[in-house]
Structure 1
Amino acid sequence: MTDLGDRPVSDARAPESLSERAAEARTHPVLTIDDFSVEYKGDRVVKAVRNVSLTLGRGEILGLAGESGCGKSTLAYGINRLLKPPAVITGGSAHFHSREGYVIDLNELGGEELRAFRWDKIAMVFQGAMNSLNPVITIQRQMEDIFSTHRPDMSRKDRRMRCGDLLERVGVDRARLRSFPHELSGGMRQRVMIAMAMALDPQVMIMDEPTTALDVVVQREILREITRLRAALGFAVIFITHDLPLLLEISDRIAVMREGEIVELGDAVELYTNPRHEYTRKLLASFPSLTGERGDFIRSGSHAQNGELV
Protein backbone atom coordinates (compact mmCIF):
# COMPACT_ATOMS: atom_id res chain seq x y z
CA MET A 1 0.00 0.00 0.00
CA THR A 2 1.38 3.41 -0.94
CA ASP A 3 2.64 5.49 1.98
CA LEU A 4 0.85 8.74 2.71
CA GLY A 5 3.94 10.78 1.96
CA ASP A 6 4.37 9.16 -1.45
CA ARG A 7 0.89 9.82 -2.80
CA PRO A 8 0.83 11.94 -5.97
CA VAL A 9 -1.20 15.09 -5.38
CA SER A 10 -0.90 16.81 -8.73
CA ASP A 11 -4.66 16.57 -9.23
CA ALA A 12 -5.38 17.72 -5.68
CA ARG A 13 -2.86 20.54 -5.24
CA ALA A 14 -4.29 23.31 -3.10
CA PRO A 15 -4.74 26.42 -5.27
CA GLU A 16 -2.63 29.40 -4.27
CA SER A 17 -5.43 31.86 -3.56
CA LEU A 18 -8.95 31.80 -2.19
CA SER A 19 -10.40 32.93 -5.51
CA GLU A 20 -8.61 30.06 -7.25
CA ARG A 21 -10.05 27.63 -4.70
CA ALA A 22 -13.54 28.97 -5.31
CA ALA A 23 -13.07 28.38 -9.03
CA GLU A 24 -11.64 24.93 -8.27
CA ALA A 25 -14.80 24.03 -6.36
CA ARG A 26 -16.92 24.82 -9.40
CA THR A 27 -14.75 23.16 -12.05
CA HIS A 28 -13.25 20.22 -10.07
CA PRO A 29 -15.76 19.16 -7.42
CA VAL A 30 -15.18 16.17 -5.20
CA LEU A 31 -18.64 16.29 -3.62
CA THR A 32 -21.88 17.84 -4.87
CA ILE A 33 -25.01 18.09 -2.73
CA ASP A 34 -28.22 19.08 -4.50
CA ASP A 35 -31.52 20.09 -2.85
CA PHE A 36 -30.80 17.79 0.11
CA SER A 37 -33.49 17.50 2.81
CA VAL A 38 -33.79 15.51 6.04
CA GLU A 39 -36.76 15.21 8.38
CA TYR A 40 -37.24 13.66 11.80
CA LYS A 41 -40.54 11.80 11.74
CA GLY A 42 -42.66 11.64 14.87
CA ASP A 43 -45.71 13.17 16.47
CA ARG A 44 -44.36 16.41 15.10
CA VAL A 45 -42.27 16.39 11.93
CA VAL A 46 -39.02 18.34 12.27
CA LYS A 47 -37.46 19.59 9.03
CA ALA A 48 -33.84 19.43 10.14
CA VAL A 49 -32.21 20.04 6.72
CA ARG A 50 -34.06 21.99 4.05
CA ASN A 51 -33.10 21.93 0.39
CA VAL A 52 -29.36 22.31 0.94
CA SER A 53 -27.12 22.59 -2.12
CA LEU A 54 -23.33 22.70 -1.77
CA THR A 55 -20.27 21.95 -3.89
CA LEU A 56 -16.99 20.92 -2.28
CA GLY A 57 -13.91 21.46 -4.41
CA ARG A 58 -10.98 19.08 -4.51
CA GLY A 59 -8.51 20.13 -1.81
CA GLU A 60 -10.85 22.79 -0.41
CA ILE A 61 -11.70 23.48 3.25
CA LEU A 62 -15.39 24.36 3.41
CA GLY A 63 -16.56 25.66 6.76
CA LEU A 64 -20.12 24.95 7.89
CA ALA A 65 -21.18 27.35 10.65
CA GLY A 66 -24.33 27.85 12.64
CA GLU A 67 -25.81 27.68 16.12
CA SER A 68 -26.52 24.41 17.90
CA GLY A 69 -29.53 22.60 16.45
CA CYS A 70 -29.40 24.27 13.04
CA GLY A 71 -28.85 20.96 11.20
CA LYS A 72 -25.08 20.90 10.63
CA SER A 73 -24.44 17.43 12.04
CA THR A 74 -27.65 16.06 10.55
CA LEU A 75 -26.45 17.17 7.12
CA ALA A 76 -23.08 15.47 7.66
CA TYR A 77 -24.71 12.25 8.84
CA GLY A 78 -27.10 12.37 5.90
CA ILE A 79 -24.27 12.71 3.38
CA ASN A 80 -22.52 9.71 4.94
CA ARG A 81 -25.76 7.71 5.22
CA LEU A 82 -25.36 7.41 8.99
CA LEU A 83 -28.79 8.68 9.97
CA LYS A 84 -30.92 6.47 12.21
CA PRO A 85 -34.72 6.48 12.65
CA PRO A 86 -36.67 8.64 13.05
CA ALA A 87 -34.41 10.63 10.68
CA VAL A 88 -35.28 10.21 7.00
CA ILE A 89 -33.74 11.68 3.84
CA THR A 90 -36.79 13.15 2.12
CA GLY A 91 -35.25 14.67 -0.99
CA GLY A 92 -32.22 15.63 -2.97
CA SER A 93 -28.98 13.85 -3.77
CA ALA A 94 -25.29 13.68 -2.93
CA HIS A 95 -22.68 12.64 -5.49
CA PHE A 96 -19.04 11.81 -4.91
CA HIS A 97 -16.63 12.61 -7.76
CA SER A 98 -13.62 10.33 -7.49
CA ARG A 99 -10.17 11.43 -8.56
CA GLU A 100 -10.19 8.32 -10.75
CA GLY A 101 -12.88 9.93 -12.90
CA TYR A 102 -16.10 8.16 -11.88
CA VAL A 103 -19.14 9.48 -9.98
CA ILE A 104 -20.94 7.71 -7.13
CA ASP A 105 -24.55 8.46 -6.19
CA LEU A 106 -24.45 8.11 -2.40
CA ASN A 107 -28.20 7.54 -2.21
CA GLU A 108 -27.76 4.38 -4.27
CA LEU A 109 -25.17 2.78 -2.00
CA GLY A 110 -26.15 0.05 0.42
CA GLY A 111 -24.80 -2.91 2.36
CA GLU A 112 -21.15 -3.80 1.77
CA GLU A 113 -20.71 -1.08 -0.88
CA LEU A 114 -21.68 1.60 1.63
CA ARG A 115 -19.50 0.15 4.38
CA ALA A 116 -16.48 0.01 2.08
CA PHE A 117 -17.12 3.53 0.78
CA ARG A 118 -17.28 5.33 4.11
CA TRP A 119 -13.68 5.01 5.28
CA ASP A 120 -12.15 4.64 1.83
CA LYS A 121 -13.59 7.69 0.04
CA ILE A 122 -15.19 9.85 2.74
CA ALA A 123 -14.00 9.69 6.35
CA MET A 124 -15.58 11.41 9.33
CA VAL A 125 -14.24 12.70 12.63
CA PHE A 126 -17.29 12.68 14.88
CA GLN A 127 -18.38 15.22 17.45
CA GLY A 128 -16.84 14.21 20.76
CA ALA A 129 -14.44 11.99 18.85
CA MET A 130 -11.73 12.05 21.50
CA ASN A 131 -14.07 10.06 23.73
CA SER A 132 -14.99 7.60 20.98
CA LEU A 133 -12.03 5.29 21.40
CA ASN A 134 -12.65 1.93 23.09
CA PRO A 135 -11.17 2.34 26.59
CA VAL A 136 -10.15 -1.32 27.02
CA ILE A 137 -8.37 -1.82 23.69
CA THR A 138 -4.97 -0.41 22.76
CA ILE A 139 -4.59 2.27 20.11
CA GLN A 140 -2.75 -0.25 17.93
CA ARG A 141 -5.59 -2.78 17.90
CA GLN A 142 -8.16 -0.10 17.14
CA MET A 143 -6.13 1.32 14.26
CA GLU A 144 -5.20 -2.09 12.85
CA ASP A 145 -8.87 -3.04 12.79
CA ILE A 146 -9.40 -0.49 10.00
CA PHE A 147 -6.84 -2.23 7.79
CA SER A 148 -7.87 -5.78 8.66
CA THR A 149 -11.44 -4.87 7.66
CA HIS A 150 -10.80 -2.73 4.58
CA ARG A 151 -7.37 -3.99 3.47
CA PRO A 152 -7.50 -7.70 4.39
CA ASP A 153 -4.53 -8.53 2.15
CA MET A 154 -2.13 -6.38 4.19
CA SER A 155 0.30 -8.32 6.34
CA ARG A 156 0.39 -7.81 10.10
CA LYS A 157 3.83 -6.21 9.81
CA ASP A 158 2.62 -3.74 7.18
CA ARG A 159 -0.46 -2.88 9.24
CA ARG A 160 1.66 -2.11 12.27
CA MET A 161 4.11 -0.04 10.26
CA ARG A 162 1.27 1.89 8.65
CA CYS A 163 -0.35 2.65 12.01
CA GLY A 164 2.92 4.00 13.37
CA ASP A 165 3.41 6.14 10.26
CA LEU A 166 -0.10 7.58 10.65
CA LEU A 167 0.50 8.52 14.29
CA GLU A 168 3.74 10.26 13.40
CA ARG A 169 1.93 12.06 10.57
CA VAL A 170 -0.31 13.77 13.14
CA GLY A 171 2.48 14.44 15.63
CA VAL A 172 2.10 11.46 17.99
CA ASP A 173 5.01 9.17 18.81
CA ARG A 174 4.53 5.69 17.33
CA ALA A 175 5.35 4.22 20.74
CA ARG A 176 1.85 5.33 21.75
CA LEU A 177 0.44 2.45 19.73
CA ARG A 178 0.84 0.35 22.87
CA SER A 179 -1.12 2.86 24.98
CA PHE A 180 -4.73 2.68 26.08
CA PRO A 181 -6.92 5.76 25.42
CA HIS A 182 -6.98 6.81 29.09
CA GLU A 183 -3.18 7.11 28.97
CA LEU A 184 -3.41 9.86 26.34
CA SER A 185 -4.32 13.51 26.76
CA GLY A 186 -7.46 14.88 25.11
CA GLY A 187 -5.41 16.47 22.33
CA MET A 188 -3.55 13.23 21.65
CA ARG A 189 -6.79 11.24 21.49
CA GLN A 190 -8.15 13.75 19.00
CA ARG A 191 -5.00 13.37 16.89
CA VAL A 192 -5.43 9.60 16.99
CA MET A 193 -8.98 9.98 15.68
CA ILE A 194 -7.75 12.20 12.84
CA ALA A 195 -5.04 9.63 12.04
CA MET A 196 -7.69 6.89 11.91
CA ALA A 197 -9.82 9.01 9.58
CA MET A 198 -6.81 9.39 7.26
CA ALA A 199 -5.92 5.69 7.34
CA LEU A 200 -7.36 4.74 3.94
CA ASP A 201 -6.33 7.95 2.17
CA PRO A 202 -9.85 9.42 1.80
CA GLN A 203 -10.56 12.19 -0.65
CA VAL A 204 -12.99 13.95 1.71
CA MET A 205 -12.84 14.38 5.47
CA ILE A 206 -15.91 15.58 7.37
CA MET A 207 -14.92 17.02 10.75
CA ASP A 208 -17.81 17.59 13.14
CA GLU A 209 -16.67 19.91 15.96
CA PRO A 210 -13.19 18.29 16.09
CA THR A 211 -11.78 20.79 18.61
CA THR A 212 -14.70 20.88 21.06
CA ALA A 213 -13.61 20.55 24.73
CA LEU A 214 -9.95 21.18 23.89
CA ASP A 215 -8.11 24.12 25.42
CA VAL A 216 -7.16 26.95 23.06
CA VAL A 217 -3.48 25.96 22.80
CA VAL A 218 -4.26 22.36 21.83
CA GLN A 219 -7.07 23.60 19.57
CA ARG A 220 -4.61 25.72 17.59
CA GLU A 221 -2.18 22.80 17.32
CA ILE A 222 -4.96 20.59 15.93
CA LEU A 223 -5.96 23.26 13.44
CA ARG A 224 -2.36 23.59 12.27
CA GLU A 225 -2.20 19.84 11.75
CA ILE A 226 -5.42 19.85 9.72
CA THR A 227 -4.30 22.67 7.43
CA ARG A 228 -0.81 21.16 7.05
CA LEU A 229 -2.16 17.72 6.20
CA ARG A 230 -4.67 19.16 3.74
CA ALA A 231 -1.87 21.01 1.95
CA ALA A 232 0.38 17.94 1.91
CA LEU A 233 -2.18 15.28 0.96
CA GLY A 234 -4.79 17.21 -1.01
CA PHE A 235 -7.95 15.91 0.64
CA ALA A 236 -10.98 18.18 0.94
CA VAL A 237 -12.51 19.06 4.30
CA ILE A 238 -15.99 19.95 5.50
CA PHE A 239 -15.30 21.56 8.88
CA ILE A 240 -18.40 21.86 11.07
CA THR A 241 -18.53 24.17 14.07
CA HIS A 242 -20.54 26.92 15.72
CA ASP A 243 -17.30 28.89 16.13
CA LEU A 244 -17.33 31.29 13.18
CA PRO A 245 -14.03 33.06 14.05
CA LEU A 246 -12.30 29.68 14.00
CA LEU A 247 -13.67 28.95 10.52
CA LEU A 248 -12.52 32.34 9.29
CA GLU A 249 -8.95 31.31 10.10
CA ILE A 250 -8.82 28.01 8.25
CA SER A 251 -11.59 27.93 5.62
CA ASP A 252 -11.47 28.76 1.94
CA ARG A 253 -15.25 29.20 1.83
CA ILE A 254 -17.91 29.27 4.55
CA ALA A 255 -21.55 28.23 4.48
CA VAL A 256 -23.73 29.69 7.22
CA MET A 257 -26.65 27.49 8.26
CA ARG A 258 -29.82 28.47 10.10
CA GLU A 259 -32.92 26.38 10.81
CA GLY A 260 -31.82 23.73 8.33
CA GLU A 261 -31.07 26.09 5.45
CA ILE A 262 -27.91 27.62 3.99
CA VAL A 263 -28.52 31.34 4.33
CA GLU A 264 -25.12 32.51 3.06
CA LEU A 265 -22.21 30.89 1.22
CA GLY A 266 -19.07 32.63 0.09
CA ASP A 267 -15.36 33.29 0.28
CA ALA A 268 -14.20 33.37 3.92
CA VAL A 269 -12.59 36.80 3.71
CA GLU A 270 -15.53 38.26 1.80
CA LEU A 271 -17.98 36.83 4.33
CA TYR A 272 -16.03 38.47 7.16
CA THR A 273 -15.58 41.85 5.52
CA ASN A 274 -18.93 42.05 3.73
CA PRO A 275 -21.55 39.69 5.22
CA ARG A 276 -24.75 39.78 3.17
CA HIS A 277 -27.26 38.06 5.42
CA GLU A 278 -28.52 39.60 8.65
CA TYR A 279 -27.98 36.32 10.52
CA THR A 280 -24.30 36.23 9.46
CA ARG A 281 -23.86 39.78 10.71
CA LYS A 282 -25.41 38.81 14.04
CA LEU A 283 -23.08 35.82 14.34
CA LEU A 284 -20.03 37.99 13.68
CA ALA A 285 -21.23 40.60 16.17
CA SER A 286 -21.84 38.01 18.89
CA PHE A 287 -18.18 37.26 19.57
CA PRO A 288 -16.50 39.41 22.25
CA SER A 289 -13.23 41.19 21.64
CA LEU A 290 -10.15 41.51 23.80
CA THR A 291 -9.83 45.08 22.53
CA GLY A 292 -11.95 47.32 20.36
CA GLU A 293 -15.62 47.05 19.51
CA ARG A 294 -17.87 44.09 20.24
CA GLY A 295 -17.54 41.51 17.47
CA ASP A 296 -14.17 42.89 16.34
CA PHE A 297 -12.34 39.75 17.44
CA ILE A 298 -8.56 39.74 17.19
CA ARG A 299 -6.63 37.02 15.41
CA SER A 300 -3.25 36.75 13.74
CA GLY A 301 -4.61 35.88 10.32
CA SER A 302 -7.79 35.36 8.36
CA HIS A 303 -6.97 32.10 6.60
CA ALA A 304 -4.34 29.45 6.04
CA GLN A 305 -1.56 29.87 3.52
CA ASN A 306 0.57 26.99 2.27
CA GLY A 307 -0.90 24.72 4.90
CA GLU A 308 -0.13 27.00 7.88
CA LEU A 309 -2.29 29.37 9.89
CA VAL A 310 -1.10 32.95 9.57
Structure 2
Amino acid sequence: MTRDAVLTIDHLDVVYETERPVHAVKDVSLTLAPGEILGLAGESGCGKTTLAYAITRLHKPPAKVASGSITFHDRDGSDIDLLGLSDERLRAVRWSKLSMVFQGAMNALNPVTTIRAQLDDALVEHRRGMPKKERRAIAEDALRRVGVDPARITAYPHELSGGMRQRVMIAMAMLLEPQVMIMDEPTTALDVVVQREILREIVRLRDELGFAVVFITHDLPLLLEISDRIAIMLRGEVVECATAARIQHEPQHPYTQRLLRSFPSLSGARGDFIRTGLGFEEVAS
Protein backbone atom coordinates (compact mmCIF):
# COMPACT_ATOMS: atom_id res chain seq x y z
CA MET A 1 0.00 0.00 0.00
CA THR A 2 1.42 3.39 -1.02
CA ARG A 3 1.35 6.02 1.70
CA ASP A 4 -0.38 9.33 0.95
CA ALA A 5 2.39 11.42 2.51
CA VAL A 6 6.05 11.10 3.39
CA LEU A 7 6.10 14.34 5.41
CA THR A 8 3.36 16.19 7.28
CA ILE A 9 3.78 19.67 8.76
CA ASP A 10 0.89 20.59 11.05
CA HIS A 11 0.25 24.13 12.37
CA LEU A 12 3.95 24.93 12.71
CA ASP A 13 5.06 28.16 14.37
CA VAL A 14 8.71 29.30 14.58
CA VAL A 15 9.68 32.38 16.57
CA TYR A 16 13.00 34.20 16.85
CA GLU A 17 13.11 35.07 20.56
CA THR A 18 14.92 38.38 20.35
CA GLU A 19 14.26 41.59 22.28
CA ARG A 20 11.39 42.13 19.88
CA PRO A 21 10.28 38.55 18.98
CA VAL A 22 9.91 37.81 15.27
CA HIS A 23 7.20 35.34 14.24
CA ALA A 24 9.04 33.89 11.22
CA VAL A 25 6.76 30.92 10.44
CA LYS A 26 3.08 31.23 11.25
CA ASP A 27 0.66 28.30 11.47
CA VAL A 28 2.09 26.46 8.44
CA SER A 29 0.47 23.16 7.46
CA LEU A 30 1.78 21.22 4.44
CA THR A 31 2.03 17.66 3.21
CA LEU A 32 4.60 16.13 0.88
CA ALA A 33 3.69 13.05 -1.13
CA PRO A 34 6.22 10.31 -1.96
CA GLY A 35 8.12 11.26 -5.12
CA GLU A 36 6.54 14.73 -5.26
CA ILE A 37 8.37 17.98 -5.99
CA LEU A 38 6.84 20.64 -3.76
CA GLY A 39 7.97 24.14 -4.60
CA LEU A 40 8.18 26.74 -1.84
CA ALA A 41 8.22 30.29 -3.20
CA GLY A 42 8.16 33.79 -1.81
CA GLU A 43 10.21 36.94 -1.46
CA SER A 44 13.40 37.10 0.61
CA GLY A 45 12.67 37.08 4.34
CA CYS A 46 9.28 35.40 4.06
CA GLY A 47 10.32 32.36 6.14
CA LYS A 48 11.23 29.75 3.52
CA THR A 49 14.65 28.84 4.90
CA THR A 50 13.43 29.07 8.50
CA LEU A 51 10.79 26.48 7.63
CA ALA A 52 13.40 24.23 6.01
CA TYR A 53 15.68 24.48 9.03
CA ALA A 54 12.77 23.64 11.34
CA ILE A 55 11.99 20.50 9.33
CA THR A 56 15.58 19.31 9.59
CA ARG A 57 16.02 20.60 13.17
CA LEU A 58 18.96 22.75 12.10
CA HIS A 59 17.63 26.00 13.54
CA LYS A 60 19.58 27.44 16.46
CA PRO A 61 18.73 29.96 19.18
CA PRO A 62 17.17 32.45 19.13
CA ALA A 63 14.98 30.45 16.68
CA LYS A 64 12.50 28.22 18.48
CA VAL A 65 9.61 26.04 17.37
CA ALA A 66 6.79 27.51 19.42
CA SER A 67 4.06 25.06 18.43
CA GLY A 68 2.99 22.50 15.86
CA SER A 69 4.35 19.17 14.70
CA ILE A 70 6.45 17.69 11.88
CA THR A 71 5.95 14.00 11.14
CA PHE A 72 8.06 11.85 8.83
CA HIS A 73 6.18 8.86 7.45
CA ASP A 74 8.82 6.20 6.86
CA ARG A 75 8.50 3.70 4.03
CA ASP A 76 8.56 0.92 6.67
CA GLY A 77 5.15 2.12 7.90
CA SER A 78 6.31 3.93 11.03
CA ASP A 79 5.72 7.59 11.86
CA ILE A 80 8.61 9.66 13.25
CA ASP A 81 7.99 12.82 15.28
CA LEU A 82 10.93 14.90 14.06
CA LEU A 83 10.55 17.58 16.72
CA GLY A 84 10.51 14.98 19.49
CA LEU A 85 13.64 13.06 18.48
CA SER A 86 16.65 12.88 20.76
CA ASP A 87 19.90 14.28 19.36
CA GLU A 88 21.26 10.78 18.77
CA ARG A 89 18.13 9.58 16.98
CA LEU A 90 18.01 12.80 14.96
CA ARG A 91 21.57 12.21 13.68
CA ALA A 92 20.47 8.77 12.50
CA VAL A 93 17.48 10.20 10.61
CA ARG A 94 19.32 13.07 8.94
CA TRP A 95 20.90 12.16 5.58
CA SER A 96 19.64 8.57 5.73
CA LYS A 97 15.92 9.47 5.58
CA LEU A 98 15.86 13.26 5.28
CA SER A 99 18.65 15.31 3.69
CA MET A 100 19.27 18.91 2.69
CA VAL A 101 21.12 20.76 -0.06
CA PHE A 102 22.19 24.10 1.37
CA GLN A 103 22.30 27.44 -0.38
CA GLY A 104 25.86 28.33 -1.39
CA ALA A 105 27.82 25.15 -2.06
CA MET A 106 31.22 26.74 -1.43
CA ASN A 107 30.14 27.72 2.07
CA ALA A 108 28.48 24.36 2.77
CA LEU A 109 31.52 22.29 1.74
CA ASN A 110 34.60 22.17 3.95
CA PRO A 111 37.28 24.08 1.97
CA VAL A 112 40.25 22.23 3.52
CA THR A 113 38.94 18.67 3.05
CA THR A 114 38.72 16.61 -0.12
CA ILE A 115 35.41 15.64 -1.68
CA ARG A 116 36.21 12.00 -0.89
CA ALA A 117 36.61 12.72 2.83
CA GLN A 118 33.38 14.69 3.00
CA LEU A 119 31.35 11.98 1.27
CA ASP A 120 33.07 9.35 3.37
CA ASP A 121 32.09 11.11 6.61
CA ALA A 122 28.39 10.46 5.98
CA LEU A 123 28.99 6.79 5.16
CA VAL A 124 31.20 6.23 8.20
CA GLU A 125 28.56 7.80 10.46
CA HIS A 126 25.51 6.05 9.00
CA ARG A 127 26.94 2.80 7.61
CA ARG A 128 29.17 1.69 10.43
CA GLY A 129 31.29 -1.33 9.60
CA MET A 130 31.08 -0.84 5.84
CA PRO A 131 34.45 -1.65 4.23
CA LYS A 132 36.46 1.28 2.89
CA LYS A 133 36.41 -0.12 -0.64
CA GLU A 134 32.62 -0.29 -0.63
CA ARG A 135 32.34 3.25 0.72
CA ARG A 136 34.60 4.47 -2.06
CA ALA A 137 32.45 2.71 -4.67
CA ILE A 138 29.24 4.25 -3.31
CA ALA A 139 30.78 7.73 -3.23
CA GLU A 140 32.07 7.45 -6.79
CA ASP A 141 28.69 6.17 -7.99
CA ALA A 142 26.95 9.14 -6.34
CA LEU A 143 29.26 11.54 -8.17
CA ARG A 144 28.70 9.71 -11.43
CA ARG A 145 24.91 9.99 -10.99
CA VAL A 146 25.10 13.79 -10.78
CA GLY A 147 27.46 14.11 -13.74
CA VAL A 148 30.79 14.58 -11.94
CA ASP A 149 33.79 12.54 -13.07
CA PRO A 150 34.60 10.15 -10.16
CA ALA A 151 38.28 11.00 -10.69
CA ARG A 152 37.49 14.40 -9.13
CA ILE A 153 36.79 12.71 -5.80
CA THR A 154 40.31 13.65 -4.65
CA ALA A 155 39.75 17.34 -5.43
CA TYR A 156 39.22 20.13 -2.92
CA PRO A 157 36.12 22.34 -3.28
CA HIS A 158 38.08 25.33 -4.60
CA GLU A 159 39.33 23.18 -7.48
CA LEU A 160 35.78 22.71 -8.77
CA SER A 161 33.49 25.14 -10.58
CA GLY A 162 30.38 26.48 -8.88
CA GLY A 163 28.17 24.09 -10.84
CA MET A 164 30.32 21.09 -9.96
CA ARG A 165 30.33 22.04 -6.29
CA GLN A 166 26.55 22.20 -6.36
CA ARG A 167 26.45 18.77 -7.99
CA VAL A 168 28.71 17.45 -5.21
CA MET A 169 26.26 18.82 -2.63
CA ILE A 170 23.41 17.01 -4.39
CA ALA A 171 25.49 13.81 -4.50
CA MET A 172 26.15 14.14 -0.77
CA ALA A 173 22.44 14.66 -0.05
CA MET A 174 21.40 11.56 -2.03
CA LEU A 175 24.33 9.40 -0.90
CA LEU A 176 22.23 7.35 1.55
CA GLU A 177 19.16 7.33 -0.71
CA PRO A 178 16.86 9.40 1.56
CA GLN A 179 13.13 9.59 1.04
CA VAL A 180 13.03 13.40 1.25
CA MET A 181 15.50 16.01 -0.01
CA ILE A 182 15.12 19.66 0.94
CA MET A 183 16.84 21.99 -1.52
CA ASP A 184 17.35 25.58 -0.39
CA GLU A 185 17.89 27.66 -3.55
CA PRO A 186 20.31 25.09 -5.01
CA THR A 187 20.84 27.00 -8.26
CA THR A 188 21.39 30.48 -6.81
CA ALA A 189 24.42 32.34 -8.27
CA LEU A 190 24.83 29.82 -11.10
CA ASP A 191 24.64 30.88 -14.72
CA VAL A 192 21.52 29.98 -16.67
CA VAL A 193 23.09 27.10 -18.63
CA VAL A 194 24.47 25.39 -15.51
CA GLN A 195 21.21 26.06 -13.70
CA ARG A 196 19.29 24.23 -16.41
CA GLU A 197 21.69 21.27 -16.32
CA ILE A 198 21.31 20.91 -12.56
CA LEU A 199 17.51 21.17 -12.71
CA ARG A 200 17.45 18.40 -15.30
CA GLU A 201 19.64 16.29 -13.02
CA ILE A 202 17.35 16.87 -10.02
CA VAL A 203 14.24 15.81 -11.94
CA ARG A 204 16.03 12.82 -13.49
CA LEU A 205 17.31 11.64 -10.11
CA ARG A 206 13.87 12.09 -8.57
CA ASP A 207 12.40 9.90 -11.31
CA GLU A 208 15.21 7.35 -10.96
CA LEU A 209 15.39 7.09 -7.16
CA GLY A 210 11.85 8.09 -6.15
CA PHE A 211 12.66 10.61 -3.43
CA ALA A 212 10.42 13.59 -2.70
CA VAL A 213 11.75 17.15 -2.94
CA VAL A 214 10.98 20.41 -1.17
CA PHE A 215 12.47 22.97 -3.58
CA ILE A 216 12.89 26.45 -2.07
CA THR A 217 13.41 29.52 -4.23
CA HIS A 218 12.14 33.03 -4.90
CA ASP A 219 12.14 32.15 -8.63
CA LEU A 220 8.50 31.28 -9.28
CA PRO A 221 8.89 30.71 -13.05
CA LEU A 222 11.52 28.08 -12.28
CA LEU A 223 9.13 26.29 -9.90
CA LEU A 224 6.39 26.31 -12.53
CA GLU A 225 8.69 24.22 -14.72
CA ILE A 226 9.66 21.50 -12.27
CA SER A 227 7.10 21.36 -9.43
CA ASP A 228 4.06 19.17 -8.96
CA ARG A 229 2.62 21.61 -6.40
CA ILE A 230 3.69 25.05 -5.22
CA ALA A 231 3.22 26.70 -1.83
CA ILE A 232 3.43 30.51 -1.73
CA MET A 233 4.76 32.11 1.47
CA LEU A 234 4.20 35.69 2.61
CA ARG A 235 5.38 37.07 5.95
CA GLY A 236 5.73 33.59 7.44
CA GLU A 237 2.41 32.21 6.24
CA VAL A 238 1.50 29.87 3.39
CA VAL A 239 -1.11 31.98 1.63
CA GLU A 240 -1.75 29.59 -1.26
CA CYS A 241 -0.89 25.98 -2.13
CA ALA A 242 -1.99 24.34 -5.37
CA THR A 243 -0.76 22.47 -8.42
CA ALA A 244 1.78 24.28 -10.57
CA ALA A 245 -0.76 24.57 -13.38
CA ARG A 246 -3.36 26.13 -11.09
CA ILE A 247 -0.83 28.58 -9.63
CA GLN A 248 0.13 29.60 -13.16
CA HIS A 249 -3.32 29.92 -14.70
CA GLU A 250 -5.72 30.45 -11.77
CA PRO A 251 -3.84 32.09 -8.88
CA GLN A 252 -6.24 32.81 -6.04
CA HIS A 253 -4.33 35.01 -3.60
CA PRO A 254 -3.55 38.63 -4.55
CA TYR A 255 0.09 38.16 -3.54
CA THR A 256 0.45 35.18 -5.87
CA GLN A 257 -1.05 37.25 -8.67
CA ARG A 258 1.38 40.10 -8.00
CA LEU A 259 4.29 37.67 -7.80
CA LEU A 260 3.42 36.23 -11.20
CA ARG A 261 3.12 39.70 -12.72
CA SER A 262 6.46 40.80 -11.28
CA PHE A 263 8.57 38.68 -13.63
CA PRO A 264 9.46 40.47 -16.88
CA SER A 265 9.61 38.84 -20.29
CA LEU A 266 12.08 39.35 -23.10
CA SER A 267 9.04 39.66 -25.35
CA GLY A 268 5.33 39.95 -24.77
CA ALA A 269 3.43 41.17 -21.74
CA ARG A 270 4.81 41.31 -18.21
CA GLY A 271 4.14 37.95 -16.58
CA ASP A 272 4.45 36.09 -19.89
CA PHE A 273 7.58 34.49 -18.53
CA ILE A 274 7.25 30.71 -18.90
CA ARG A 275 10.65 29.43 -19.98
CA THR A 276 11.60 26.31 -21.84
CA GLY A 277 14.80 24.37 -22.12
CA LEU A 278 14.64 21.66 -19.47
CA GLY A 279 13.76 19.09 -22.08
CA PHE A 280 10.33 18.23 -20.69
CA GLU A 281 7.36 17.62 -22.92
CA GLU A 282 5.15 19.74 -20.65
CA VAL A 283 5.26 21.80 -17.50
CA ALA A 284 4.76 19.70 -14.36
CA SER A 285 1.18 19.80 -13.14
**CA distance in 2 between partners of 1:187 and 1:127 (Å):** 12
Deviation of 1:303 (Å) = 9.8
**CA distance in 1 between partners of 2:257 and 2:8 (Å):** 27
1:111 to 58, 77, 87: 87
Q: Does 1:51 find its partner at 2:51?
A: no
**CA distance in 2 between partners of 1:89 and 1:298 (Å):** 37
What letter matches 1:261 in structure 2? E
1:161 to 118, 137, 148: 137
Moved over 4 A (4+): 301-306
* CA 248–28 in structure 1, closer or farther in 2 if over 3 Å, else same: same
Structure 1: runs of 5+ lacking an equivalent: 1-9, 12-26
What TM-score do the two structures reach when normalised by structure 1? Answer: 0.88
Deviation of 1:235 (Å) = 0.2
2:174 to 191, 198, 212: 198
| Identity between Structure 1 and Structure 2 (%) | 64
Matches within 5 A, 1:31-180: 31-180=7-156
The CA deviation string for residues 262-308 of structure 1, in whole angstroms up to 9 with x for no partner, is 000000011100100000000000001011001111422799569x9
* CA 304–106 in structure 1, closer or farther in 2 if over 3 Å, else same: farther
1:236 to 194, 212, 233: 212
**CA distance in 1 between partners of 2:106 and 2:215 (Å):** 16
Deviation of 1:132 (Å) = 1.6
1:252 corresponds to: 228
1:3 corresponds to: none
RMSD: 1.8
What letter matches 2:187 in structure 1? T
Contact 1:251 1:304 in 2 (8 A): no
What TM-score do the two structures reach when normalised by structure 2? Answer: 0.96
Contact 1:250 1:303 in 2 (8 A): no
What letter matches 2:21 in structure 1? V
* CA 170–282 in structure 1, closer or farther in 2 if over 3 Å, else same: same
What letter matches 1:216 in structure 2? V
Q: Does 1:269 find its partner at 2:242?
A: no
Aligned residues: 284
Deviation of 1:88 (Å) = 0.6
What letter matches 1:43 in structure 2? E
Matched position secondary structure for 1:29: coil
1:218 corresponds to: 194
1:296 corresponds to: 272
2:184 corresponds to: 208
The CA deviation string for residues 101-139 of structure 1, in whole angstroms up to 9 with x for no partner, is 110011110121011111111000011134321112111
Q: Does 1:282 find its partner at 2:258?
A: yes
* CA 287–238 in structure 1, closer or farther in 2 if over 3 Å, else same: same
Q: Does 1:28 find its partner at 2:38?
A: no
Contact 1:130 1:193 in 2 (8 A): no
* CA 86–74 in structure 1, closer or farther in 2 if over 3 Å, else same: same
**CA distance in 2 between partners of 1:287 and 1:194 (Å):** 28
* CA 120–180 in structure 1, closer or farther in 2 if over 3 Å, else same: same
Structure 2: runs of 5+ lacking an equivalent: none
Matched position secondary structure for 2:214: strand
Matched position secondary structure for 1:120: coil
**CA distance in 1 between partners of 2:47 and 2:105 (Å):** 19
What letter matches 1:255 in structure 2? A
What letter matches 1:116 in structure 2? A
Matched position secondary structure for 1:136: coil
